[in-house]
């Protein structure tokens, strides 16, 4: 039975040796007695995924992990196939404001170091300490609360059976008019005490953070709960021994790097082997999930919607044959906009947009309208960009001597070329890709004559 000091020392020594031959990022914090109190880790594969899929993140803290009852913070994202991937993890002894501040500051520093765009949306549970520190380190990100956690907290406080259905219709409803109607019905119930009403008022003050009806213009990928990350935490608690050491815990979590975990939500869709003629080009450009999503909506548009052209190739009225609801779709350039705002939420065209597009003969469905996170080639382009920015100084120093020694003007290496520009007292060169300029750096260095 080793102590936490011995376990921490073994883990840190292992990572220091490992970091010499691998690109990893880890940090730790010791107290006055030199005991490990904080730790965070991200591998190269996790960093690659972070660069590709940092737009929507889920953050949650699991308690009593390992024999030392540590807290583990997990940060996960959604990949181009709509599967869950681990992007970052950290350990700390107490879930205090200082601990969350240190953990989130580490994430913010990492993003800044690698020039990765900060997330558009972060989804967490309703923890006051966590929300305060998120506003501090990610002020421009949209902070949303898990609908499931909010619902469970409401049920603990409002225990009357008649309130359960009304609360569910408020928390999980994406129709704003119905939500407001249900709130009025709830306040009209006689069994609510004054204390219950005050509690509900405090929750409804933050309704824009947890009610899907208020998220229609927020990029959320259609996610309103942290169930994905809760599923991962459940697996960790199931397969990790309750008395595991820090080294065992790290190797278990790090073993999930680069692994896309399946999810049983409606994200998982199947597509036909042969694409409809109008979708053939789209299928070549998008991931399997994104194309399956579009194909499913496309067939639904053909069967269940009636299209009336209000302005040729510019404006349409889309009417549902099921519930008779009408929606207006407009086009400007290559972009379609729809009143339902579903395209804004997940970055993929909705059924109304596909119905309008299908009625056009000369207008193509441009992949420019579809968020780049769903494109097939996101792996190559963003990963190359990120590591060029992260390790540019090291690469420039290594390649500079090669260019000086080579008598030719261009040094070719596979798909990459380094072009030299020579003057009397300086040499400038820039990195050029045969497909596109991914990163461009100019280095001015004096050279002896």
pLDDT tens-digit map of 72-108: 888 999 988 888 888 888 888 776 788 888 888 888 8
Of 205, 244, 185, the closest CA to residue 1 belongs to 244
Listed in sequence order, the residues at least 6 apart from 181 whose beta carbon sits closer than 8 Å to its beta carbon are: none
Question: Is residue 419 one of the residues assigned to a domain?
Answer: yes
Q: How many domains is the chain built from?
A: 3
Domain that holds residue 403: 391-446
Q: Please give the structure tokens belonging to residue 36.
A: 């490990």
Of 260, 255, 250, the closest CA to residue 228 belongs to 260
Q: Is the dihedral of CA 378, 381, 384, 390 positive or negative?
A: negative
pLDDT at 430 > cutoff 90? no
Listed in sequence order, the residues at least 6 apart from 413 whose beta carbon sits closer than 8 Å to its beta carbon are: none
pLDDT at 386 > cutoff 50? no
Question: Is residue 195 one of the residues assigned to a domain?
Answer: no
Average pLDDT taken over every residue of the chain: 76
- Domain final residue pick, 331, 348, 374: 374
pTM over 0.95: no
Strand partners, 57: 77, 122
Quick one: 300 and 425 in the same domain? Answer: no
Listed in sequence order, the residues at least 6 apart from 23 whose beta carbon sits closer than 8 Å to its beta carbon are: 43, 44, 47, 387, 390, 391
d(CA 316, CA 371): 23
Quick one: 286 and 327 in the same domain? Answer: yes
The number of C-alpha atoms within 13 Å of 98 and in the hemisphere containing its C-beta is: 7
> Helix (H, G, I), strand (E, B), or coil: what is residue 212?
helix
H/E run at residue 65: strand 56-65
Of 280, 300, 283, the closest CA to residue 292 belongs to 283
Question: Is residue 319 one of the residues assigned to a domain?
Answer: yes
Quick one: 129 and 243 in the same domain? Answer: yes
- Domain final residue pick, 341, 374, 407: 374
Quick one: 417 and 342 in the same domain? Answer: no
Instruction: Kindly indicate the confidence band of residue 113, based on its pLDDT and cuts at 50, 70 and 90.
Output: confident
Mean pLDDT along residues 349-359: 90
Quick one: 114 and 29 in the same domain? Answer: yes
Task: Quote the pLDDT of residue 429.
Answer: 31
Quick one: 59 and 127 in the same domain? Answer: yes
d(CA 319, CA 328): 9
Question: Is residue 189 one of the residues assigned to a domain?
Answer: no
Quick one: 356 and 418 in the same domain? Answer: no
Strand partners, 84: 78, 261
- Domain final residue pick, 349, 374, 399: 374
Quick one: 351 and 401 in the same domain? Answer: no
Quick one: 111 and 248 in the same domain? Answer: yes
Question: Is residue 272 one of the residues assigned to a domain?
Answer: no
Mean pLDDT along residues 39-58: 86
The answer to whether the CB of 7 falls within 8 A of the CB of 53 is: no
d(CA 27, CA 303): 55
End-to-end CA distance of the chain: 66
Question: Is residue 188 one of the residues assigned to a domain?
Answer: no
Question: Is residue 364 one of the residues assigned to a domain?
Answer: yes
The answer to whether the CB of 55 falls within 8 A of the CB of 111 is: no
Quick one: 369 and 316 in the same domain? Answer: yes
Strands 315-320 and 410-413: unpaired
Task: Quote the pLDDT of residue 170.
Answer: 92
Task: Quote the pLDDT of residue 441.
Answer: 33
d(CA 371, CA 55): 10
Cα angle 125, 126, 129; round to 5: 105
d(CA 330, CA 335): 8
d(CA 98, CA 133): 9
The answer to whether the CB of 279 falls within 8 A of the CB of 271 is: no
Quick one: 324 and 398 in the same domain? Answer: no
Mean pLDDT along residues 240-253: 79
Question: Is residue 370 one of the residues assigned to a domain?
Answer: yes
Quick one: 308 and 430 in the same domain? Answer: no
């Amino acid at each position: 039975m080793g102590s936490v000091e011995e376990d921490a020392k073994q883990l840190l020594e292992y990572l220091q040796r490992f970091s010499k031959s691998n690109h990893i990022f880890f940090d730790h914090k010791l107290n006055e007695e030199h005991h490990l109190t904080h730790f965070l880790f991200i591998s190269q594969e996790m960093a690659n995924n972070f660069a590709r899929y940092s737009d929507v993140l889920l953050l949650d803290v699991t308690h009593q992990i390992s024999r030392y009852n540590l807290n583990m913070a997990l940060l996960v994202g959604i990949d181009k196939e709509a599967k869950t991937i681990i992007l970052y993890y950290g350990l700390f002894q107490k879930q205090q404001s200082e601990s969350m501040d240190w953990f989130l500051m580490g994430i913010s520093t990492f993003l800044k170091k690698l020039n990765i765009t900060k997330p558009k949306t972060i989804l967490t549970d309703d923890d006051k300490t966590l929300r305060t520190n998120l506003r501090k380190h990610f002020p421009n990100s949209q902070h949303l609360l898990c609908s499931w956690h909010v619902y469970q907290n409401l049920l603990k406080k409002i225990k009357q059976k008649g309130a359960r259905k009304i609360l569910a219709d408020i928390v999980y409803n994406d129709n704003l008019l119905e939500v407001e109607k249900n709130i009025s019905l709830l306040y009209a119930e006689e069994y609510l005490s004054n204390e219950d009403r005050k509690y509900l008022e405090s929750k409804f003050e933050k309704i824009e953070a947890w009610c899907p009806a208020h998220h229609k213009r927020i990029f959320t990928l259609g996610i309103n709960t942290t169930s994905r990350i809760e599923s991962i935490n459940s697996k960790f608690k199931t397969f990790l021994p309750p008395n595991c050491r820090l080294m065992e815990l790290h190797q278990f979590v790090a073993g999930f790097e680069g692994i896309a975990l399946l999810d049983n939500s409606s994200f998982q869709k199947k597509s036909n082997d042969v694409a409809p003629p109008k979708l053939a080009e789209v299928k070549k450009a998008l991931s399997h999930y994104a194309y399956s999503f579009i194909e499913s909506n496309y067939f639904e548009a053909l069967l269940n919607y009636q299209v009336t052209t209000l302005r040729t190739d510019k404006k349409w009225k889309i009417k549902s044959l099921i519930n008779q609801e009408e929606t207006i779709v407009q086009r400007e350039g290559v972009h379609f906009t729809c009143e339902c705002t579903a395209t804004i939420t997940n970055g993929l065209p909705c059924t109304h947009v596909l119905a309008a597009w299908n009625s056009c003969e000369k207008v193509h469905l441009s992949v420019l309208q579809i968020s780049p996170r769903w494109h097939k080639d996101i792996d190559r382009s963003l990963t190359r960009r990120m590591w060029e920015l992260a390790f540019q100084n090291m690469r420039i120093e290594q390649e500079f001597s090669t260019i000086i020694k080579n008598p030719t003007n261009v040094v070719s290496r596979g798909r990459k070329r380094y072009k030299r520009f020579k003057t009397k007292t300086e040499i400038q060169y820039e990195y050029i890709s045969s497909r596109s300029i991914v990163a461009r750096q100019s280095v001015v260095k004096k050279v002896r004559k």
